[in-house]
Amino acid sequence: MREEIIRISEDEIARQREFAQKVRFHPDRPKTYFIVTYGCQMNAHDSETLAGMLEDMGLTAAAEKTQADIVLHNTCCIRDNAERKALGNVTWLKEIKKDRPELLIGVCGCMIQQAEMANKLLKQYPFIDLAFGTGNLYRLPEYLLEAIENKDRVIRVDREASTVAEGLPVRRENDIKAYITVMYGCNNYCSYCIVPYVRGRERSRLSDDIVREAELLVQSGVKEIMLLGQNVNSYGLDSAEGVSFAKLLRRVSRTGIERLRFMTSHPKDLSDELIDEMACNPVIAPHLHLPVQSGNDRILREMNRRYTREHYLQRVQALRSAMPDIGLTTDLIVAFPGETEQEFQDTLSLVEEVRYDSAYTFIYSPRKGTRAADMPGKIDAAVASERIERLIAAQERITGEILSGMHGQTAQVLVEGTSRRRETQLTGKSGRNINVNFTGDASDIGKIIPIRITGAGSNTLRGEKEE
Ligand code: 5AD
Ligand code: SF4
């Protein structure tokens, strides 16, 4: 897919603001909204932008989906089950619409960006009022106005994928932690992955725009920023600015933010410069999500990952020698087409060798239009679930061992809130991104405080405030 990168002009953003004002004063506009989000952090952050735009148009958040005047589904299509879940929930709303015909049902996000989706929605889902993809999300005011004025469906699936829009309003979910997208899209074309087709080409935001956004967040009291991109290691490679991701991290860390995280890193692009920056910059959290996908070289080649097991392990070693206490997490796929038992065991042995703090494990799901979807050697479903269970069991044991080994250590915990059960029970995240529960009071919320670890559950730690 050769697609041009389009930076949306300030004029176009201003035009959308005008549409937003027209919606705001339209007598027939929806008054309340509800957004259902599927998938990754990028989508969660896109939903914050959707909420910001809807509030700019005068809408307020509804407490329940069934009470809202407009329900937007921000979809994911990375695996078949994500897609089925979204379509199932959209169809369920059809029943609510029978009683409340004024309810607007919207669908947006990655699923919409797939080829043939417009036709499918038009024919099979006549109750969907509004549909648009990730690349034209900034046009929500225009589409909503059109839907209200013409009382007709607005299905805009024009595959405009590679856009960068600055200056959209954002309604953030959390006062303590915030996301900043630093780049959109992906050029890697891993053979199993739909993302490059639905999120478009890699394009980086300008570093000044990112730093300004970080400064505003710091001023508003945010303590932790997570920089987001499908492959943050290639930040800047598409622009003439000459700012690498390591340099961007340094610039953002100087805004006064207390803790900085980022994801996702591709192992083939993890530079020594980035490792050095992580090691010497105390603002950057000692955690790296480094998806390996498989521990077997043939499978890695078939996946088009462009690194070997040996290269990956060397990168892990470089990280650990620079930062002995770094926490590593990963993504793993089992039952890729043609994966043999021996090849799967290479993934198991890699997990044993690296000892991740935790791992997201997935059964391979064929995605139409990707290279792997046409590969022979489909793995039997029973074999796939047996493999994933073995992998999960191994990872759970390792997680348990790592957490128990933290007994007596001190973790720097960013306190996020009270636990659901008791008000004096506080919860937060350590630098390594592990949940820590301890007894404290509401004045601790929003601070990074030292907690001495006294015990471990299956994936959380318990601790006490240090005197
Ligand atoms: N099937 C299973 N897992 C997938 N992922 C991406 N595409 C697929 C697929 N077709 C996983 C990868 C990636 C994570 C976000 O989702 O592990 O790192
Ligand atoms: Fe998908 Fe690979 Fe890009 Fe990650 S790096 S989004 S797995 S194509």
Cα(127) to centroid(ligand 1), Å: 30
Q: What is the CATH number of domain 6-163?
A: 3.40.50.12160
What is this structure's pTM? 0.94
Q: Render pLDDT for 133-192 as a digit per residue (tens, 0 to 9).
A: 888 899 999 999 999 998 889 998 766 667 888 889 999 989 999 999 999 999 999 999
* Greatest Cα-to-Cα distance within the chain, rounded to the nearest angstrom: 65
Atom 2 (ligand 1): residue with closest C-alpha? 364
Cα(79) to centroid(ligand 1), Å: 7
The position carrying tokens 């636990």 is 419
Q: Render pLDDT for 409-455 as a digit per residue (tens, 0 to 9).
A: 999 999 999 877 777 899 999 999 999 999 998 999 999 999 999 99
Band of residue 304 on the pLDDT scale cut at 50, 70, 90: very high
Mean pLDDT over 30-52 rounds to 95
Cα(330) to centroid(ligand 2), Å: 13
Q: Is the pLDDT of residue 245 over 60?
A: yes
- Asked which of 172-181, 286-295, 320-329, 421-430 is least confident by mean pLDDT, the reply is 421-430
Apex 299 CA angle, 294 and 305, nearest 5: 75
Q: Is the CB of 39 under 6 A from ligand 1?
A: no
Q: Is the CB of 203 under 6 A from ligand 2?
A: no
Which atom of ligand 2 is nearest to 196's Cα?
A: 8
Three-state SS for 428? strand
Which atom of ligand 1 is nearest to 194's Cα?
A: 7
Q: Is the CB of 177 under 6 A from ligand 1?
A: no
Apex 358 CA angle, 422 and 444, nearest 5: 30
The per-residue pLDDT of the chain, averaged, comes to 94
Same fold across 6-163 and 174-285:
no
Q: Is the pLDDT of residue 295 over 50?
A: yes
Band of residue 1 on the pLDDT scale cut at 50, 70, 90: very low
Apex 134 CA angle, 90 and 95, nearest 5: 10
Cβ atoms of 179 and 48 closer than 8 Å:
yes
Q: Is the CB of 200 under 6 A from ligand 2?
A: no
Mean pLDDT over 267-272 rounds to 96
Cα 357 to Cα 19, 94, 413, distances in angstroms: 47, 42, 17
The residue extents of the domains of the chain are 6-163, 174-285, 289-404, 410-465
Q: Among residues 215, 210, 268, 206, which one has the least CA distance to residue 239? A: 206
Domain 174-285 has CATH 3.30.750.210: yes
Q: Which of 42, 77, 188, 193 to mutate to test the pocket of ligand 1 (most atoms within 8 A of CB)?
A: 193
Between 135 and 223, residue with greater pLDDT: 223
Q: Say what percent of the chain tops pLDDT 70.
A: 99
Closest ligand to the CA of 372: 1
Cβ atoms of 193 and 230 closer than 8 Å:
no
pLDDT value, residue 2: 52
Q: Which of 193, 201, 371 to mutate to test the pocket of ligand 2 (most atoms within 8 A of CB)?
A: 193
pLDDT value, residue 120: 86
pLDDT value, residue 301: 98
The position carrying tokens 């407490």 is 63
Q: Render pLDDT for 336-390 as a digit per residue (tens, 0 to 9).
A: 999 999 999 999 999 999 999 999 999 999 999 999 999 999 999 999 999 999 9
pLDDT value, residue 4: 74
Q: Render pLDDT for 201-215 as a digit per residue (tens, 0 to 9).
A: 899 999 999 999 999
Which atom of ligand 1 is nearest to 293's Cα?
A: 17
Cβ atoms of 290 and 270 closer than 8 Å:
yes
Which atom of ligand 1 is nearest to 264's Cα?
A: 18
Q: Is the CB of 446 under 6 A from ligand 1?
A: no
Q: Is the CB of 230 under 6 A from ligand 2?
A: yes
Q: Is the CB of 192 under 6 A from ligand 1?
A: yes
Cα(175) to centroid(ligand 2), Å: 30
Cα(301) to centroid(ligand 1), Å: 16
Q: Render pLDDT for 109-121 as a digit per residue (tens, 0 to 9).
A: 999 888 788 788 8
Q: Which of 113, 184, 186 to mutate to test the pocket of ligand 2 (most atoms within 8 A of CB)?
A: 186
Q: Among residues 146, 105, 98, which one has the least CA distance to residue 125? A: 105
pLDDT value, residue 3: 65
Which residues, 6+ apart, have CB-to-CB distance to 292 below 8 Å?
267, 312, 330, 331, 332, 350, 354
Strands of 110-234, DSSP E: 130-132, 154-156, 163-164, 177-181, 183-184, 203-204, 224-228
Which atom of ligand 2 is nearest to 305's Cα?
A: 2
Q: Which CATH topology does 410-465 take?
A: OB fold (Dihydrolipoamide Acetyltransferase, E2P) (2.40.50)
Cα(365) to centroid(ligand 1), Å: 8
C-alpha atoms less than 13 angstroms from C-alpha of 90 in its C-beta half-sphere: 27
What is the C-alpha to C-alpha distance for residues 148 and 36, in angstroms, rounded to an integer? 21
pLDDT value, residue 159: 63
Q: Options 1.10.10.10, 3.50.50.60, 3.30.750.200, 3.30.200.190; which CATH number does 289-404 get?
A: 3.30.750.200
Q: Is the pLDDT of residue 274 over 90?
A: yes
